[in-house]
């Protein structure tokens, strides 16, 4: 499961804004690894450097030295809408002269196709296949005079998830959709201001967290400071997966440290699904904290049973067939001496299609594990996401097709327990009504029926076999 992107922006005259953005993108690398980009302005023109690859592959001293100015925005991309190709890298610049803007987007616009058609009919041209360019052209198409009013005009037309950083020749703007589906926060640095997807980006550049940007809010930073324009609606729908998996454990969202929330999810699993076992491990890295939480609550010793190669998949060198056949072994290496003969509790963040979990369990069994008791922080995912999470179609979601007992058999575990929705909310320790829980409940915060119908036509049948043929013992 992948999230769509990380966004960043900085307004800091006198600072090396490109370098600050580079290090902030480094901290947000987990949100997207396909491409990275930075745009800056010196007040006269917008400059961009954006390419396919990791932040460290895209930038060097030379490229950063050409990105001068007082304002910068940056982007890490994982493509959910618009294919993965070089023309779709962000930030993108749209418009010319005084009307030019650079924009970085995290999220997914549900009515992008409709708006694309409408704008094309009006004569707007598109150079990418991203919904980000639709947002940018919609802003430019507004009859309003100032940037905040233009953005407000676009917000009235956009449906879906968007956390944006936008740069004009004189402004840095941060925008969050009215439901607040994706996070966005404001920070301060040396008399300047920063906007980022997650607070961990602020920590890495020595900025101070100021506050969350509220759902529906536009923040405009100029030489006069920060102006805030609040949204109208009161409905909230922050993606709960930010707490389960997407955001870094050292980030804080709505005052809750992600690491603590994940530990509490593990503790909740121990309460809801206790089992006699010798050893607990979280699947690294995303479920490490939850594994520790399970162990503390249950009193079962915790340790590492799988080591993760953190750099796998972060290369553009294609593996040959022999390497590809190693599959999950490329990513995880088991520690047989830790595992042999043990009754093991394995805590993971989620099971989506059910393609990786049987392979992980297969690895553990071959390393000599006696029993595998799978515990999962996310409740069963039965509905697809339309808000920027590249999850699966409904027919690909294993929990939409099978009962818990059938999933247990399919993944080859001795027992399987999912955290309940109420248990998840208790672990996050924030009001339930601020969250989107649609992939568990099917209760979407905005109508998505049209998209659902389209997806139903596009899906392929769910494959009724276990990739490793592992049977439950
Ligand atoms: S449907 Fe699920 S993954 Fe998508 S925004 Fe809602 S909670 Fe997040």
Which atom of ligand 1 is nearest to 435's Cα? 7
Residue 200 has phi, psi (to 5 degrees) of -60, -30
Active site residue 5: yes
pLDDT band for position 467 (cuts 50, 70, 90): very low
- CA 159 / ligand 1 centre spacing (Å): 15
Cβ atoms of 188 and 198 within 8 Å: the answer is: no
Residues near 401 by beta carbon (within 8 Å), at least 6 away in sequence: 395, 462
What is the position in ligand 1's atom list of the atom closest to the CA of 384? 1
* pLDDT at position 470 over 50: no
Percent pLDDT > 90 in the chain is: 78
Ligand 1 mean position to 462 CA, how many Å? 21
Average the pLDDT over each of 75-79, 278-282, 387-391, 442-446 and give the range with the smallest value: 387-391
pLDDT bin (cut points 50, 70, 90) of residue 84 is low
The whole-angstrom separation of Cα 36 and Cα 52 is 6
Helices of type H across 349-445? 357-366, 398-401, 404-411, 421-428, 438-441
User: What count of other Cβ atoms lies within 10 Å of the Cβ of residue 435?
Assistant: 23
Give the residue carrying structure tokens 């999230």: 3
Ligand 1 mutation target, pool 246, 436, 447, most atoms within 8 A of CB: 436
Residue 76 burial class via C-beta count within 10 angstroms: exposed 0-12, middle 13-18, buried 19 and up: buried
Contact 249, 200 (CB under 8 A): no
* Amino acid 83: pLDDT: 58
pLDDT at residue 308, as a whole number: 86
Q: Which of 5, 185, 239, 436 is catalytic?
A: 5
The pLDDT assigned to 408 comes to 98
Mean pLDDT of 31-54: 94
pLDDT number for residue 129: 87
Distance from the CA of 437 to the center of ligand 1, in angstroms?
6
Atom 5 of ligand 1 has which residue's CA nearest to it?
Answer: 239
The predicted pLDDT at position 473 comes to 22
| 186 preceded by a cis bond (ω within 30 of 0) | no
Supply φ then ψ for residue 17, to 5 degrees: -65, -30
Average pLDDT over every residue of 194-217: 98
Residues in the chain: 473
Q: Which atom of ligand 1 is nearest to the CA of 240?
A: 7
Distance 438 CA to ligand 1 centre (A): 6
Ligand 1 centroid from CA 390, angstroms: 10
Judged against a pLDDT cut of 70, whether residue 327 lies above it is answered with no
Q: Which residues are registered as beta bridge partners of 52?
A: 35
Averaged pLDDT score across all residues of the chain: 89
Strand segments, DSSP code E, in 191-232 are 192-196, 208-212, 218-222, 225-229
Please say if the pLDDT value at position 64 is more than 80: yes
Burial class of residue 49, CB neighbours in 10 A (0-12, 13-18, 19+): buried
**Residue 440 CA, closest ligand 1 atom number:** 2
For residue 5, give both structure tokens.
């992107």
- How far is 175 from 152, CA to CA, in rounded Å? 9
Give per-residue pLDDT as tens, 428-456. Answer: 999 999 999 999 999 999 876 555 555 54
Model confidence at 285, pLDDT cuts 50, 70, 90, reads confident
Tell me which residue of 116, 46, 118, 45 sits closest to 81, measured CA to CA.
116
User: Whose alpha carbon is nearest atom 8 of ligand 1?
Assistant: 239
Q: In this predicted structure, which of 71-75, 85-89, 196-200, 466-470 has the lowest mean pLDDT?
A: 466-470
pLDDT digits (tens, 9 = 90+) for 151-183: 999 999 999 999 999 999 999 999 999 999 999
What percentage of residues in the chain have a pLDDT greater than 70?
88
Averaged pLDDT, 369-389: 93
Answer for the pair 12, 190: CB distance below 8 angstroms, yes or no: yes
Which of 90-94, 376-380, 382-386 has the least mean pLDDT? 382-386
| Residue 91: strand, helix, or coil | coil
Q: Whose CA is nearest to atom 6 of ligand 1?
A: 436
CA of 392 to the centre of ligand 1 (A): 12
Q: Is the pLDDT of residue 70 over 90?
A: yes
Q: Which residues line ligand 1 (CB under 6 A)?
A: 181, 239-241, 385, 387, 389, 436-439
Residue 198 pLDDT exceeds 80 = yes
**Better-predicted residue by pLDDT, 327 or 302:** 302
Alpha helix (H) residue ranges in 45-111: 55-58, 61-65
> Which of 81, 237, 239 for mutating ligand 1's site (highest number of atoms within 8 Å of CB)?
239
Tokens of 13: 């005259």
């Amino acid at each position: 499961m992948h999230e769509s992107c990380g966004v960043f922006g900085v307004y800091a005259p006198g600072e090396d804004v490109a370098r600050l953005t580079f290090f902030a993108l480094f901290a947000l690398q987990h949100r997207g690894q396909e491409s990275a980009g930075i745009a800056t302005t010196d007040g006269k023109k917008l400059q961009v450097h954006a390419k396919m690859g990791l932040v460290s592959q895209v930038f060097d001293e030379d490229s950063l030295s050409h990105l001068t100015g007082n304002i910068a925005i940056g982007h890490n991309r994982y493509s959910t809408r618009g294919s993965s190709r070089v023309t779709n890298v962000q930030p993108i610049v749209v418009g010319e002269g005084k009307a030019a803007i650079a924009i970085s987007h995290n999220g997914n616009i549900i009515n992008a196709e409709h708006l694309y058609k409408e704008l094309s009919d009006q004569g707007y041209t598109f150079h990418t296949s991203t919904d980000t360019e639709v947002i940018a052209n919609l802003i430019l198409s507004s009859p309003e005079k100032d940037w905040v009013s233009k953005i407000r005009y676009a917000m009235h037309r956009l449906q879906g998830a968007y956390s944006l950083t936008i740069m004009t020749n004189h402004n840095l703007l941060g925008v969050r959709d009215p439901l607040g589906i994706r996070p966005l926060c404001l920070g301060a640095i040396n008399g300047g201001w920063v906007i980022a997807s997650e607070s961990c980006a602020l920590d890495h550049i020595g900025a101070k967290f100021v506050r969350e940007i509220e759902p529906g809010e536009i923040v405009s930073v100029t030489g006069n400071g920060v102006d805030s324009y609040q949204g109208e609606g009161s409905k909230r729908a922050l993606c709960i997966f930010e707490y389960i998996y997407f955001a870094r454990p050292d980030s804080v969202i709505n005052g809750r440290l992600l690491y603590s929330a994940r530990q509490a999810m593990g503790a909740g699993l121990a309460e809801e699904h206790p089992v006699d076992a010798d050893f607990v491990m979280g699947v690294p890295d995303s479920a490490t904290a939850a594994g520790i939480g399970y162990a503390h609550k249950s009193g079962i010793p915790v340790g590492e049973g799988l080591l993760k190669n953190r750099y796998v998949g972060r290369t553009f060198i294609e593996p040959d067939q022999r390497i590809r056949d190693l599959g999950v072994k490329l990513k995880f290496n088991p520690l047989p001496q830790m595992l042999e003969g043990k009754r093991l509790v394995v805590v993971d963040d989620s099971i989506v299609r059910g393609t990786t979990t049987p392979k992980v369990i297969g690895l553990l069994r071959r390393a000599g594990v006696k029993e595998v008791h799978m515990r999962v922080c996310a409740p069963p995912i039965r509905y697809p996401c339309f808000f920027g999470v590249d999850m699966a179609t409904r027919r690909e979601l294993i929990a939409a097709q099978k009962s818990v007992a059938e999933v247990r058999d399919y993944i080859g575990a001795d027992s399987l327990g999912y955290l309940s929705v109420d248990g998840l909310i208790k672990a996050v320790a924030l009001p339930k009504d601020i969250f989107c829980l649609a992939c568990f409940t099917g209760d979407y915060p905005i109508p998505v029926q049209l998209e659902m119908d389209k997806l139903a036509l596009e899906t392929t049948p769910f494959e009724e076999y276990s990739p490793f043929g592992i049977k439950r013992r």
